[in-house]
A and B are shown apart, each in its own frame.
Chain A
Amino acid sequence: MSNYLPIIAIFTLATGYGIWYQLSRGKVKRKAKRASKAPLDKSVLGSELGSRATFVQFSSAFCTPCWATRTLLINITSGLSDVKHIEIDAEANLDLVRKLDIRSTPTTLVLDGKGNEIGRAIGAPKRLEIVNTLAAIK
């Protein structure tokens, strides 16, 4: 069985998907289609929100970029009293994951002071993306 057609098909499809993957991961999408409609609060997230903004990070064990995301968000929020970072174990909170339509980890929701989702990033966000997003929240 010497057939090169499947090989060409696999590499073509995988390359197309890979390019989309790299372009889409880590971007903070301002108007995500899957954004939650109702504002989120302590009763849903289990922690107090930041008065200006909150980053809600969904993580899992089998996820290398979750580490980079955690380090970045803790680093950015630790110096700010009005911005908080909440990390949630996606696997242990599947009801919430379904409600917010989280499909992969890390997914980070950006909430304003009232708990409204104003953006979400799938994959490890870049530092500049987060800094710019934060700067746009009054």
Chain B
Amino acid sequence: MSITNVLSFKTSNPKLIDARGPRFGAVITTIVLTAFLATGNLLLLHWQLLVFALVAFIGLGVSPYGFIYSKSVKPRLKGEVPVEDTRPPQFAQLVGFLFAITATILYDLGLETAGVIVVGFALAAAFLNAAFNYCLGCEVYLLIARAKSAISARK
């Protein structure tokens, strides 16, 4: 077993953002998905799917929730600005997108119970992020990488 001793990801000059922005976004996501489960109004799910897609595939800069944060929340906050790399929150939005698109398809097929369960995971992740500063990338990315390599080794 040989070790790859160089970090394959960038650890200098990362693209940094205000770490409270994505957390605010998680609060709004929690409210939107809860409202969707309470009302069953598919417009809410489709809206959240669009938000996930925008951030996952374009970037945090186009997030509608990020826009609300920088316009109306950030100016009221005082103190030192905690910063974070853009990649972890963007990864979380990609996971959110995958769950939301799966749920959308399940609802289209009339499989409502399965849809509720899938939305439930996305809601749980958003709520954990909002309330407990949960880091989805930390917890699942390595497991995905391990599973991927285990599958390709079997072929």
Contact = CB atoms under 8 A, between A and B. Distances in A.
B134 A104 contact: no
B1 A60 contact: no
B151 interface: no
A21 B134 contact: yes
A18 B149 contact: no
Contacts of B123: 10, 14
A115 to B, nearest CB: 14
- What is the interface residue range for chain B against chain A? 35 or more
A106 B2 CA distance: 21
Contacts of A18: 127-128, 131-132, 134
A47 interface: yes
A105 interface: yes
A9 B116 CA distance: 11
A6 interface: yes
A57 to B, nearest CB: 10
Interface stretch (B35-43, B50-58, B65-73, B98-106): B35-43
A113 interface: no
Contacts of B120: 6, 9-10
Contacts of B77: none
B127 A105 contact: no
Nearest to A63: B138
B124 interface: yes
A117 to B, nearest CB: 16
A94 interface: yes
Contacts of B18: none
A52 B46 CA distance: 56
Given A18-B131, A92-B8, A98-B146, A62 B40 contact: no
Contact of B40 (A2, A10, A19, A63): A2
A45 B2 CA distance: 8
Interface string A1-35: 11110110111011101110110000000000000
B142 A97 contact: yes
Interface string A62-98: 1111110010000000000000000111111111111
Contact of B1 (A6, A62, A95, A105): A95
A99 B138 CA distance: 19
Interface in A87-127: 87-99, 102-106, 123
Interface of B: 1-11, 19, 34, 37-40, 84-85, 87-88, 91-92, 112, 116, 120, 123-124, 127-128, 131-132, 134-135, 137-143, 145-146, 149
Interface of A: 1-4, 6-7, 9-11, 13-15, 17-19, 21-22, 44-47, 58-67, 70, 87-99, 102-106, 123
